[in-house]
Amino acid sequence: MISVVVNTWNEERNIKRCLESVKDFADEMVVVDMESEDKTVEIAKKFGAKIFTHELTHYVEPARNFAVSKASGDWVLILDADEELPKSLVKRLNKVTKEDKVDYVEIPRQNIIFGQWMKHSRWWPDYNVRFFKRGRVKWSDKIHVSPKTLGKGLKLEEKEENALVHYNYQTISQYLERLNRYSTIQAENLLAGGYKFVWVDLIEKPVNEFLSRFFTGEGYKDGLHGLFLATLQAFSEFILYLKVWEKEEFVAQRDILPEFQRETKKAGQNLRFWQKQINYRESPFYKKPFLRLTNKIFR
């Protein structure tokens, strides 16, 4: 028996597509709603889903284990309301249950952001543990922390036919709303973990985030979407550390100019370095084995 579990909060725009995609796969659909104020629950009931309520937590992790506890299937598939299960993946997961050789499955996700599948920028393959035998996976209550697993796992190949489809950020307003909500929680977690505000992190962390997504993560191959998202992710880091400063009651920082000059100079040097690296890698000569070898030797 397979149970599909979905946590929801004001998801009337997404829940129909999500449940429609699993209706022929699931023996049981469980929806755990966090005090939605729209028609989410009403729509879910039309699909015959079992409805449970969890207090509003503003992020999903604290409700994951509760939701899984309501499932009665031998196998559990976790979906977010803005995700759907393609038919090609249905076939693959059915094969996993029939073979019965593993305890949990790591599944890649296609993140559709602002209307485009992000194939780079550290958004792909975005593996998540989502299909598992009941009792083999447990989530932390902390935001964006991978669950603990027991037993043998299977990591599906990094192919489109093996991927969940995730209709991630669809508007700028949606991105900014989540940024504001998540960064508050993350700032609290940083301070609870012993972090002390260092003002240069307002420069270093956003710059590193941009470089890692646009250059290391080859976000430039996603075109304007890649540039835009790398910038938004960097901005998200900036807001996060500003909120840490806020929670420390905006402690005054004096004589910041020397450090500011050093950090901005370092950021500029890193940017120029990566620009040269990308120009070289994207040149037709880079494909020649001899030039690749000399680049490794003399870099």
pLDDT, one tens digit per residue, over 187-216 is 999 999 999 999 999 999 999 999 999 999
| pLDDT surpasses 60 at 11 | yes
Which token pair is 74? 């031998």
Positive or negative torsion for Cα 18, 20, 26, 30:
positive
Measured distance CA(14)–CA(146) in Å, rounded? 24
Task: Tell me if 5 sits within 8 A of 73, measured CB to CB.
Answer: no
Measured distance CA(176)–CA(236) in Å, rounded? 9
User: Going from the N-terminus, what domains does the chain have, and what CATH number goes with each?
Assistant: 2-167 (3.90.550.10), 172-298 (no CATH)
For the beta carbon of residue 125, count every other beta carbon within 10 angstroms. Answer: 20
pLDDT at 281: 76
Beta bridge partners of 3: 28, 76
pLDDT at 101: 96
Q: Model's pTM, two decimal places?
A: 0.87
CA dihedral 59, 218, 234, 204 (to 10 degrees): 120
> Which DSSP letter does residue 238 get?
H
Measured distance CA(116)–CA(222) in Å, rounded? 9
Burial class (CB in 10 A: 0-12, 13-18, 19+), 187: buried
pLDDT, one tens digit per residue, over 111-167 is 999 999 999 999 999 999 999 999 999 998 888 888 999 999 999 999 999 999 999
Give the CA distances from residue 118 to residues 185, 208, 219, 230, in Å, rounded to whole numbers and listed in that order.
26, 20, 9, 11
| pLDDT surpasses 60 at 289 | no
Beta 109-113 vs 164-167: how paired, if at all?
Answer: parallel
Compute the mean pLDDT over every residue in the chain, rounded to the nearest whole number.
Answer: 92
| pLDDT surpasses 60 at 295 | no
pLDDT at 298: 37
Q: Provide the pLDDT confidence category of residue 279 given band limits of 50, 70 and 90.
A: confident
Which token pair is 124? 């792909």
Helix ranges restricted to H, 73-138: 87-99
The mean pLDDT of 219-234, rounded to a whole number, is 97
pLDDT, one tens digit per residue, over 167-176 is 999 999 999 9
| pLDDT surpasses 60 at 294 | no
Measured distance CA(174)–CA(59) in Å, rounded? 14
Positive or negative torsion for Cα 273, 274, 275, 278:
positive
Task: Tell me if 211 sits within 8 A of 271, measured CB to CB.
Answer: yes
